[in-house]
Each structure stands twice: as C-alpha cells, then as structure tokens.
Structure 1
Amino acid sequence: MPTRYEAILRADREATPAAGTDGRTPLRLAAAQPLCVPLDVAANARAHADAVRAASARVVVFPELSLTGYELDAPVVPTDDPRLAPLVRACAETGALALAGAPVAGDHIGVLAVTGDGVTVAYRKMCLGEAEARRFRPGDTPGVLTVDGWRLGLAVCKDTGVAAHAQRTAALGVDVYAAGVLESACDTAVVDQRAHRIAVTHRVWVAMASFAGSTGGGYTEAAGRSGVWTPQGEVCARAGTAPGELVRVSID
C-alpha cells in the first residue's frame, strides 16, 4: 500500500531532464488528489502544500474546487487570502506552480495559479452544470499559462466534456490540457473517455486531477484515479482511488 502522497511513478524518469530538440527542458508535471475537508480552506491549503512538496514537480494540478470541496455555497477565496500562505511557501521552496480549485471573485468556479510569488486567478470555468449555474457565472475566455516554454490550457470538469472548449483552448497553441475534475466512482470511465478524446483529437498531453474521497453535491464516493495521458491517448501514469495520492511524469 502506498503511503500518503507517495507518487505512482510508472512513467516518471527521475534523472535530471535534458533539453529536447526544440530547446525546451522536459516538464515535470503532477496531478494530485489531496484529502479535502469541507469548507476548511486553511486545512486544505496545508494538504495542497504537502502534495506540492511530495510531487517535486514544476506544475501540480489539483481537482475542481479542491480548496473548499464541492460545496456550492462556499465563500469566494480571495487571491490575498492568508490561509493560502502554506501553499505559497511550498511553491517557493520547490519552484512549483500549483493549479488549485476554488470559488473566485465574480462568482466563478476558478483555477488559482499559485507560485512562490503569490496567487492569481488563471481561469474561470466556462461550462457550468445546472446546479452550479444557480450560484456561479460562466467564464468567457479560455485560459492558457506558459511555463518554461510549455503552454498549458486550463479546464474544469464539465469543460472537458464540451468539444468546443477543447477546440478553443487547443487553438491557442497548447502543449498540455490540464483539468481539475470531479466524478462519482461509478463514472470513472468518463474521465478516461474525455482525456483520450482530447489527447488524440488535439495531439496534446492531458493531465486530469480527479477528486478523491467524499464531498458535497451528493458525491459520497468520488472517482479519484487522477492521471496523465500522452498525445496518442495512452495512459502513462495513474493514481488509485484514495485521497492523498498523486502521479508525476516528465514530458518532452
């Protein structure tokens, strides 16, 4: 049995990566599914920080609403929230970019980009579920971040099931489609199907951080099984179903 935050390293290359033929250094990418305490941003930020340190990755992707849980009445998490300080410190120590999920200003389901320099809103979920739309507003712009020459397109859960979202995001010239998702254990196949379709259609790496454990909205048993898919649609790393697992790969 893996210990808490022990990586599943089926595809990880632990040697220091060499630059590729295009001059870019291979990107060390992780998808994490930390234990989440409902509405406890401070506790969840500490769990995110633990995952960032364990991952030793340049980019760590977290599930949808990972900092609050899938609690649709959760207050907005401001970018200057002092409860995020442990996560900022962990990113400073490791040189990581953490992509964490939270309600953000404007009543959006957002992706927070956390580095050692602080926190910004990197993306606002564009495709909302019916219950979500009663509280949140959809974003209107795809989100892309550039990290060490790699372009990461961002997505949250239902976005991944809408072909137009992947098309608009891929059209911006992305190398990786990074998504935080939440599905029930009985719908584990949904994550695989969407990731495979996006990878092979747009020839991009896909990283999906999938919520594990239980959370609001009726998700008494979330799917977990976060993973990374190659541009050929093959699974190259996969976590199990328990909270506290992560996967890490170096992509080139």
Structure 2
Amino acid sequence: MVCRRPGPAYGDDGAVLDPLTVAACQPPVAVRDVCANVATHAEAVRRAGARLVAFPELSLTGYDLEADPVDVDDPALLPLVEACAGVGTVALVGAPVRTAAGVEHVATLRVDADGVGVAYLKTHLGGAEARRFAPGPGAAVTVVDGHRVALGICRDTGVAAHVRDVAAVGPDLYVAGLVHQPDELDEQRARAVRIARATGAPVVFASCAGPGGPSYPATAGHSGVHAADGTVLDEVDAEPGAIARATLAGLGRGAG
C-alpha cells in the first residue's frame, strides 16, 4: 500500500528522498528470554521486507517489570544485528536498559548493520513502571535514509504534551511500540489517528499480540500503519507473528 503526497520530498540536505517501506511486527513473546525473543525478532525482520521495522514495547523481554536490563553490547543481540545487516533493515525494538550512572529506563533500541544503540527513553511512565524506571528527557528523532522518525512508547501516545513535543520537532514519520489490553484497541486506533493529524506525519504502531507478560495474559495486537490524515494503510489482527506493512512516499518536509 502506498501513501503519496504531491511533489517530491526533500531531506535536510536538499536531496530527494526515496519512499520508505515500513513494517510493524508483533512476534510471540517469551517472557525474560532475550535469546528466544532475538530469534523471533530476527525472523520477523527477514520476513518483513521493509527498510524500517518496529516492534512492541519491551519486546526483547516481554512486559515484565522485573526483567533484567538489556545491554546494547550483549552478544545475544548479534543474531538480530546480522538479520538487519542481511536484508538492509533498521529495527526499532523495546527493552529495559540501564545507563552508565545506574539509572534504568524503558527504551527503544535501534538495531542495524552498525550494531545496537539507544534511540529513545520512554517519557511518560505508567502505573508500576515509575517504581523502577526513570522518565526519559522527551521527544527524540532517529534518522533513516534522511527521514526524521520521531519515537514514542505506549503511554506516551496518549499524553497531549508528548504529541505536542513530537509535532514541534517536525517528524516525517512517527513510530511507537505498544502493549495494550484487548479492550483498549479502540483507544489504540484513536491515538494513531490523533497523532497523525497533529504531526502531519504517518504513524506506525507495533502492538504486542498474544500473552505479553505477567500483567498481560492477553494483548490487543492489531499493529498498523496510518497515513498522515489518519487513514489506515494496513492493519493486522491479534495473531502473534502478524506483520503490517506499507510503502510511504512523500515523507520529506519539502513535499507538496
């Protein structure tokens, strides 16, 4: 599926940007088993056929607030790095992390051929998360092929201040990893539409499917891609392993 704006799209350097194929994956979760989750993430990356692939919140550990933090230098992550390198993908995955100062966060990691790094730290923590984790500093952008990709994690997507901060950075695309209860599906979809319209950018939501952790015996799934006007370009069901995909053209701020 293709979302197009009229006219060419340009990056910060004035170059015309190519369309970006994106995917939202919802692999089955093995709680606290990073090696098993790396394997399913790597398989999803190879299946997705996309330049940018997003995964749910805390996808490498499952939504277990007692899970050990993930070290970006852990050799256990190498199969995912190799999968990304093999198909030319940038993956955005969820994990708990610990900084050099010993502060822990809920994070989005960027994984590509160059390795693993922290791309975003969740700003608006929910419920019990705040007893362990510290909030991140706010809106963040990672760049993929000249496209400015703004990031969020679950509760962030429902906070007006986060949406305003994201809109202010002028993103070409917004991506968030989620874990929602099945009865929160309508709100999940409504948030995607609100963010798309507020930012003027397409939205990719990767939402956990199947059992997600001790407090999530079932989850909403229905990962999807929305156009900048909120239109659904692709959405999958609640089945673990499903992948939503779309090719987005005209993402640069010079478009149209």
Distance 1:75 1:21, change over 3 A: closer
Report the CA distance between 1:249 and its aligned residue: 0.7
Distance 2:173 2:139 in 1: 13
**1:212 aligned residue:** 209
Distance 1:154 1:241 in 2: 23
Secondary structure of 1:152's counterpart equals strand
**1:42 aligned residue:** 35
Bigger shift: residues 106-115 or 168-177: 168-177
**1:113 aligned residue:** 110
The question of 1:59 aligning with 2:56 is answered no
Distance 2:76 2:241 in 1: 20
Tell me the C-alpha RMSD between the 2 structures. 1.3
Distance 2:67 2:237 in 1: 27
Calculate percent identity across the aligned residue pairs: 47
Q: TM-score under structure 2 normalisation?
A: 0.90
Distance 2:118 2:38 in 1: 16
- Please tell me the residue identity of whatever aligns with 1:109: V
Report the CA distance between 1:215 and its aligned residue: 2.1
**2:72 aligned residue:** 79
**1:181 aligned residue:** 178
Contact 1:142–1:169, Cα closer than 8 Å, also in 2: yes
Distance 2:53 2:9 in 1: 25
Contact 1:20–1:26, Cα closer than 8 Å, also in 2: no
Give the alignment of 1:131-146 within 5 angstroms.
131-146=128-143
Distance 1:126 1:49 in 2: 27
**2:245 aligned residue:** 248
Secondary structure of 1:44's counterpart equals helix
Question: Alpha-carbon deviations, 1:125-159, whole Å to 9, x = none?
Answer: 00001210011111013110111111100000000
Contact 1:12–1:248, Cα closer than 8 Å, also in 2: no
Question: Alpha-carbon deviations, 1:171-230, whole Å to 9, x = none?
Answer: 111011100001011111111010001111221100000000112242111000000001
Distance 2:2 2:239 in 1: 20
Contact 2:163–2:198, Cα closer than 8 Å, also in 1: no
Question: Alpha-carbon deviations, 1:34-71, whole Å to 9, x = none?
Answer: 01100000000010000000011110000000000000
Question: Alpha-carbon deviations, 1:88-118, whole Å to 9, x = none?
Answer: 0000001111000000112100000000110
Structure 1 runs not aligned, ≥5 long: 1-10, 14-18
Structure 2 runs not aligned, ≥5 long: 11-15, 250-256
Q: Give the number of equivalent residue pairs.
A: 237
**2:96 aligned residue:** 103
2:229 to 214, 228, 232: 232
2:148 to 147, 151, 166: 151
